[in-house]
Structures are given as structure tokens and as C-alpha cells.
């Protein structure tokens, strides 16, 4: 158990900072407010204690799930997507796309 916090600090909530659940002047609170009194349940040990995370636990690539788990090299998803676009939509004589293609969305020359 963490010595910095007492269970009282973790469990209790400051109800004076929240508006009342039932306010007759506010029409949506009439339907959304609880009809019965609240029931207080005891917290289990897992709700009071738990792992403590800090900035030291994060690595330089933890914000990028693709590069974080890559074995080697760069991800290939974008290149595969462009190849599929070229295979399906690249017709030089297409009336809808004269002189161009949807494969140009990849912003790089495609191998021929």
C-alpha cells in the first residue's frame, strides 16, 4: 500500500463542488437524476491500491505503436496501400482521371 495517501483521500469525493443531481428548473435533470438514495459500497483492495506509473516507465518510442514494435526497418502499410491503388485504379486512358491516377496520392514515384 502506498504510504503517501490514506484510504480516506482516495475513497471520498467532494460533493459540495458538484451541482445537485435533481434541479427542477433544469428539465433534463428531472429525467436523469436518480430516483432512489445512493448506496455506498466498500472499495476492494484493488480499487484502493494499484501500480504506480511514472515518466521513467516511458521509452522514446512509446507514443508510436508502429515503430515501437517494429522488428527492423520502416512500416510497409503505406507502400502496400499505394501498390493496391496502382493495381486497381491506374489506367492512363481513364476518362475520370485523364493523365493521372489515384496512385499519385502516395506522394512518391511508384516502381514500374
- What is the SS3 assignment for 61? coil
| Better-predicted residue by pLDDT, 53 or 95 | 53
38-92 pLDDT per residue, tens: 788 888 887 778 787 888 888 888 887 777 776 676 666 655 566 666 655 554 4
Residue 39: what are its φ and ψ, rounded to 5°?
-110, 125
Sign of CA pseudo-dihedral 99, 105, 110, 112: negative
pLDDT at position 29: 84
Q: Which three cell numbers stand for residue 65?
A: 505503436
Could you give the CA distance from residue 87 to residue 103 in angstroms, rounded to a whole number? Answer: 9
Model-level pTM?
A: 0.24
Contact indicator for 30, 21 with CB cutoff of 8 Å: no
Could you give the CA distance from residue 11 to residue 40 in angstroms, rounded to a whole number? Answer: 11
- What is the SS3 assignment for 60? coil
pLDDT at position 41: 81
pLDDT higher than 50, residue 24: yes
Residue 42: what are its φ and ψ, rounded to 5°?
-75, 135
- Least confident interval from 23-32, 59-68, 74-83, 103-112: 103-112
Residues 6+ apart with CB under 8 A from 52: 2
Amino acid at each position: 500500500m502506498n504510504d503517501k495517501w490514506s484510504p480516506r483521500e482516495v475513497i471520498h469525493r467532494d460533493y459540495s463542488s458538484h451541482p445537485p443531481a435533481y434541479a427542477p428548473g433544469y428539465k433534463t435533470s428531472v429525467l436523469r437524476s436518480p430516483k432512489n438514495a445512493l448506496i455506498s459500497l466498500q472499495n476492494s483492495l484493488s480499487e484502493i491500491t494499484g501500480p504506480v506509473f511514472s515518466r521513467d516507465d516511458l521509452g522514446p518510442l512509446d507514443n508510436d505503436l508502429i515503430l515501437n514494435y517494429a522488428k527492423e526497418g520502416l512500416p510497409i502499410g503505406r507502400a502496400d496501400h499505394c501498390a493496391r491503388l496502382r493495381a486497381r485504379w491506374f489506367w492512363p486512358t481513364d476518362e475520370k482521371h485523364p493523365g493521372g491516377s489515384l496512385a499519385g496520392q502516395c506522394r512518391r514515384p511508384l516502381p514500374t
